[in-house]
Amino acid sequence: MADMKIGDEIFNVEVEGPANAPPLILSNSLGSDLHMWDPQMPALTRHFRVIRYDSRGHGKSVASEGPYSFEQLGRDALAILDGLGVEKASWMGLSKGGGVGQWLLVHAPDRIERAVLANTAAKFGAPDVWNERLRVVSEHGLAGLVEGTIDRWFTKSFQQKNPDAIARIRESFLATPAVGWAACSSALRDVDLREAIRAVRAPVLVVVGKHDQGTPPAAGREIADAIPGARLVELDAAHLSNVEAAEAFNRAVVEFLTEPAPKIARPKSFPHRRPKKAAKKAVVRPEPRAAKKAAKKTAKKAAKKAGKKIAKKAARKAPKKSAAKKAAKKGVKKGVKKAAGKPVKKAAKRATKKGRKR
C-alpha–C-alpha distance, residues 239 and 211, integer Å: 7
pLDDT tens profile 230-259: 999 999 999 999 999 999 999 999 999 999
C-alpha–C-alpha distance, residues 352 and 251, integer Å: 138
- Alpha-carbon distance values, 222 to 58, 102, 194, 229 (Å): 28, 13, 8, 13
Question: Prior bond to 67 cis, omega within 30?
Answer: yes
Residue 51's pLDDT band, with cuts at 50, 70 and 90, is very high
Q: pLDDT at position 282, please?
A: 42
Please say if the pLDDT value at position 267 is more than 60: no
The C-alpha angle with vertex 2 and arms to 62 and 70, in degrees rounded to 5, equals 40
Please say if the pLDDT value at position 25 is more than 50: yes
DSSP 3-state of 18: coil
Please say if the pLDDT value at position 48 is more than 60: yes
Residue 145 makes CB contacts below 8 A (sequence gap 6+) with 133, 136, 137
Number of H helices, E strands in the chain: 14, 8
In this predicted model, which residue has the larger pLDDT, 306 or 25? 25
Residue 329's pLDDT band, with cuts at 50, 70 and 90, is low
User: Worst-scoring range by mean pLDDT, 122-136, 160-174, 278-292?
Assistant: 278-292
Distance of CA 273 to the CA centre of its chain: 23
Q: pLDDT at position 332, please?
A: 43
CATH topology of domain 2-258: Rossmann fold (3.40.50)
pTM of the model as a whole = 0.74
Please say if the pLDDT value at position 162 is more than 70: yes
Please say if the pLDDT value at position 351 is more than 50: no
Mean pLDDT, to the nearest integer, of 197-226?
Answer: 98
